[in-house]
């Protein structure tokens, strides 16, 4: 199992706990990291398949945009954040392999996503949304968190938000989540 930090989690605390949880085959990523430093993980399934999981935990605006940039022109800071997300997605998906089940998971939201009733608006403004074009087209499946309302986002790979039952508010748990795989 792989767990990534969300916007309500302490990324440093989760990274510290990951040292213990790996003993029970649970991998936790608190902070975004490059594929070469553990951001992409290889998992062998019980069926003998290989899954490559490109995992991108939540990154606050301050994690990818400097305080100086945040204090400057707002549009420029938002553009820089979106570019950093795209670079991270490209780096992580570079670990994908032909013949493997290539999964991309991120705790973010995408421009144009429909908000549910349980999100805190301060954390989900369109200002810090990632572009759908930034999502890796080579992914077999894309799982997005942050927006609690299940929905399909058009693009080159199947994707669905909030596919995990953990920390799902009651409004989100009334929906069935369906995982699909592209051919």
What is the pairing mode between strands 40-44 and 50-56? Answer: antiparallel
Residue 136, pLDDT above cutoff 80: yes
pLDDT digits (tens, 9 = 90+) for 40-71: 999 988 888 999 999 999 988 888 887 777 77
Please give the model's pTM, rounded to 2 decimal places: 0.77
User: What pLDDT is recorded for position 181?
Assistant: 34
> What is the pLDDT, as a whole number, of residue 14?
92
Average pLDDT, the chain: 77
Higher pLDDT, 105 or 155: 105
* Per-residue model confidence (pLDDT) at position 119: 57
pLDDT at 164: 37
> Please, what's the b/e burial string for 119-144 (b: 16 or more CB within 10 A of its CB; e: otherwise)?
beeeebeeebbbebebbbebbbbbbb
Which residues, in sequence order, are CB contacts of 74 under 8 Å at separation 6+? 127
77, 66 Cβ separation under 8 angstroms: no
Provide the pLDDT for residue 10: 92
């Amino acid at each position: 199992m792989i767990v990534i930090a969300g916007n309500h989690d302490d990324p440093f605390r989760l990274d510290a706990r990951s040292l213990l949880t790996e003993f029970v085959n649970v991998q936790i990523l608190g902070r975004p990291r490059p594929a070469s430093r553990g951001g992409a993980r290889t998992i062998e399934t019980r069926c003998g398949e290989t899954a490559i999981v490109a995992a991108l935990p939540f990154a606050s605006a301050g994690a990818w945009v400097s305080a100086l940039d945040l204090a400057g022109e707002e549009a420029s800071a938002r553009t820089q954040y979106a570019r950093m997300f795209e670079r991270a997605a490209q780096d992580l998906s570079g670990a994908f392999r032909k013949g493997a089940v290539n999964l991309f998971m991120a705790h973010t939201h995408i421009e144009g996503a429909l908000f549910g009733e349980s999100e805190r608006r301060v954390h989900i403004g369109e200002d810090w949304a990632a572009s759908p074009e930034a999502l890796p087209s080579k992914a077999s499946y894309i799982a997005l968190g942050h927006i609690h309302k299940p929905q399909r986002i058009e693009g080159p790979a199947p994707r669905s938000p909030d596919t995990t039952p953990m920390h799902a508010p009651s409004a989100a748990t009334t929906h069935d989540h369906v995982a699909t795989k592209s051919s």
